[in-house]
Structure 1
Amino acid sequence: MQHVTLLPTTFLLLFCCLLPIADAAGAEENPRKELRSEISAMERSAGFTAKDTAYISKILTLAGEMRFYDADSLLKLSERSLTLSEAAGFLKGKAKSYLRLADYHSDKGDSEKAIELYEKGLALSEAGNFGDLRLSALNGLSGEYVYKGDIAGALTKYLEALELAEQTGELEMQSILNENIANLYAEQKDYDHCLEYFQRVKRINDKLGNDIIKAETMSNLASVYADMGNLEYAMFNINQSIDIFEENRIFDWLAYAYETKGKVYLKKFNYKWALYWYSQAEMLHMNLEDDRSRIDLLNGMAEAHFGQGNDSLASDYATQAFRISEKIRFTEGKRDCAQTLYRIHRKQEDYATALVYHEVFQKLSDSISKRENQQGLSLLKTRNEFEKQKEELIEENEKALAEQKRFVWIGWVALFIALIIIYLVYRSKRLQKQLAEELTTKKDILEVRKAELQANNQTKTKLFSIIGHDLRGPIGALQSLLTMYSEGDMKKEEFLSFIPKLKSDVDHIFFTLNNLLSWGYTQMEGAKTKPSNTILENIVQENINLLAEIADQKSIRVVSELQGNTEVWSDPNQIDIVIRNLISNALKFTPENGIVSIRAEDKDTHWVIAVRDTGVGIDRVTMSRLFQDSSNTSTYGTNNEKGTGLGLSLCKEMVEKNNGKIWVDSTLRIGSTFYFTLPKAAQKYSEAV
């Protein structure tokens, strides 16, 4: 569990003797009741004005207390404090109001809006030099980047916040930020670095001497140990944290601790006790309003019921968790719930539903950019190594300076010794300069290597992304069907009913592989453009014949309007790829009984080729990024045909290699026309050969 912005992800039960739910709610309500009373007293006092900064601050404090108990109150109080702060010119109140509003949208799963508000709060905090709010804003931003799967972005903000916390001596925020970085390593299964950061957190917590903060760390550490399979250490840490939370009646963290204890029992396959702790957590959670936290709790209960053979209850809990994940757009939760539902429906021999959830799981697993996360952590390791080298060089410099001072002091004793010291000082300065130059050189080398690594990995990242996203899914579905059929889980008739889908997936894989190999070949600088006099209408007709079956399936008429004199100077293999992808795209986005036509317009020095369809059209936003280098836009066709988003990038690259240009004109619900130019075949080109 991450601090401050990432609240407990499941909730707990009470140890041995249960605390009554009403009692718990009452204890939690007291701070909020006291704040309401104080606000009411201020409003009734003589000379009261709503522009009083103390009054606005009190409203903001109440808003923070309401976060996981009444989201509507959090929103209304935050909006009210923002209005009052603007009227009073209270910059700090305005900054804090944006952070509270960001918390609300974060809990609702609207990360884009939350990031926008956190950034507004951060900008005001920096303008007003409010160090505490700046740390909170950076930590909140980092949490949203984690929810979005942008680990590199989260690390950047965490490190920026950590550096600020170290400069200002904010030990509590240092503890929180180091623990959040440890959790990032845990999510990547890099437990060595994770535990290294937890050791740092423990040292900071010892300086703080706060038992509640120590208990929070032990709860997170227990969850990590449970994921590692070190269940004894997990149980030791969680029991200690439970004692502290119960004594201090910290119910949100106590809930998380008990849920973690349920997870430990689940990993021990002790489903009875796992359900015991999960159920108590569910009871406490009734007094909280935190959808994101409920997902792991409900999915954990689903797994425990499934382990006991209660398939119906397991399905109910997992489905509920899946729906909450969809509601707040929580990708990781949706993925985990899909996996649980796949196991449940497969056991119930509901193979069609099982396959649906299996495909959802595969798709979401691929969409969570683990490769980018690992690269982000690698950058952090590189930074740590650089910082370590810098500290070693600084330490050497400090030793050299200390030696210099000692010789200067001795120099007062005798002129001869002074002369020697002068020489040593000169040598020491030269050594210091040399060390500084070496430090700069090493830094430059690290930056160059970092840039080279990013450049070299860009192509591989894109290749693996497409392979994982567009090939792994269909192949995984095919593998699942074959496995169920070979193991006797599926009858022959059921298997044969999936044949049309399998054929569509295989066709998609073949077309994707063809594009992928062509693009990869060009990216690895293995493809050289070899232009020659090329008859364009022959290439067009061959591709019309090749794609005839797809066109027939949708009753689409494909017409070539090219005349017999369309001769261009280009590489025929590359232009073949361009024609095939554009016709394939036109078929994909044209509904049944449509028309796709190919024509060429004669210009002075070149041909303008147009592939027109009567399809669904493209909106302006999508059109603006179709041919961008960083774009990998992919959508489903009118019959849910799949695509990689690679085809248009490949077309652009191939056309430009042949000294041409490519663009698109489209109108929604009327159709699209893709244009590209190619040089005319001329005598001078023949001589160039």
Structure 2
Amino acid sequence: MKFFLYLGFFFLSFVALAQNPKIKGLEAQLKTATTPEEQIELYIKLSKEYRNISFEQSLGYAKKAKELAKQNGDSTALSSAFNSIGVAYDLYGNYSKATSYYYKSLRISEAIGDSTGMSTNYNNIANIFDIRNDIPKSIEYYNKSLEIARAIKDTASVARAIINLGSSYQLLGQSDKALFYLKEGSRLYTLVKNEQGIVMSANNLGFIHSERGEWKTAITQHNRALELATNSNNYLDVAYSLSGLAVANFTGKQYDKALQYALENLRILKELNSKDEIQIAAMILNDIYLEKGDYRKAHEYLTLHSQYKDSVHNAAIDLKITELQLTYRNEKAEQENQLLKVERRLKNQQLERNTIIQVCILALLLIACMAAFVFFRSRQHLHGINQLLMHNSVILSQQKAELTDQAKLLNDQKEELEKLNTVKDRLFSVIAHDLKGPLVSLKGLLHIAATGSVPEDKFKMLLAKLETSQQNALWLLDNLLVWAKTQMRGIAFRPKNVTAHTLAQETLHLLQPQAQQKSITLHNNIDEADVVTADPETTKIVFRNLISNAIKFSYTGGAISLNSVRIPGYLELSVTDEGVGIQHDVIDKLFVARNYSSSGTANEKGSGLGLALCKEFIEQNGGFISVESKFRNGSTFKFTLPLAADAVDQPTKTQPVLESELY
């Protein structure tokens, strides 16, 4: 009878558990994994767990790991994913695809210096050479795997390579040498307590003992392996243990027991869909039935063996094609490297020629520079004289510019002094004319009051006139001082967000006594919600002058109203009276200081400065002022102030502003 050696060496690195809670645990972890690194690691672990249960599941998880590793740019994870895909195809019997993915994984491991990955991939590729019965090549790759594993002191990987070398030597018929390697590998696996490695070692030792006729020792080894594999629910290892027991009992002519083990082995292998091992199991059954004299059964299993052998043979052909393709790619890459070397050598030669040319050009340039130096040396003296002349010319130009600046500064100072002198003359003129009058009137009223000859009823009227005269003098003086400060740039504007209604109300409260003397009613209709950006003090001066003028030119018993309306970006404020109005030819003179002044309906005096101040303050606050009036039919003074930023976004009640109304 022909013995069949267990060739599944590359499975030593993996654990295939069927009906194991570990798979459920890993799938539960996968659902909660948040990072690509965690997901890749779980995909690879699940691929390993499903190898001996479901080829599709194992391959599917390995491919998911590959795609995610590519997206994440993780070379180490990509190498592991390629290796897992290769193992899945290897188990299924598609050796050409398995070899292709093993080599992909190996190239990445070599590129990133992953010694563990290189050792594993050399071992897996060696397994493929074993399947092709290319034992010398498999021994070469097992030794590479062993050398790397020893260098990184990976005992489990060392044991794996030694076990596989022992199996390769067994295939060469060197049973003593094979037995030595297998025992050493079993010792190392026992040392690191690698249970699956111990199972594989025991099965391989059992096969050697069967071949040597030591079938009872073989049964002991396979029973030990079967017990451990059953406890760990590793169906593939259980199948190999049963196969070993069938071979050992056949060797000992225990055909009934051999048949029992062989049939159970075939059943498990069919569930695992392991084509290579099915054809070996079928041949074992053929041999058993031949010895038992059941030729019909023997023929049935010989036919099954042939079917699966053809499948394996086709896989071997595919493997050879894949190897040839890889060889072609390697040779092509070598040729490309040679071409690159030739191109590099030609480039170096070209660089040398370019260097020689550059040296020659540099020498010619040096000669030309020397000639130029001699030529320009002869003209250096003349150039120096020219430079001196140019320097003197620059100095004269600078002096001229300085004189021009000084002249301009003196002229500006002269204009400023003339302006200040004009302000001074105007100031004294106002003091002499407008301020003197109210003070003289005040003095006369005080004199009359001091004589005590005024009846009591007229004394009250006299006090009222006295208070009005005093208030007018104060306001006149206030306007005068404010105007003087504006002329000399002495007013500081500090705009801020203020409520126009509040400013107007403060001014109305101040002017209420003056209005009461003429029985004039004051109405503040400005919207309390309207907020403007303006300087509060100058705005109150504008309100005070406009309302004071309205009182001044209103008839006794009249009314004055303050109103507001929103226009785009501005709040338009107005002061309307029912007084004497303004003649059309006077309107253009209103807003110029000292150009126009007239007495009120109660003979109130003015300085002619109030409206000029209003115009200047409104414009400095970013607005405009205008007037609408009909003679003897009242007047309306309008001015605008910018709405605050928050107020601009609110809905506005628009009212067109005529360009002719703005000054």
- TM-score with structure 1 setting the length: 0.47
TM-score (ref. length: structure 2): 0.49
Structure with higher RCO (Cα < 8 A, 6+ apart): 1
Larger radius of gyration: 2
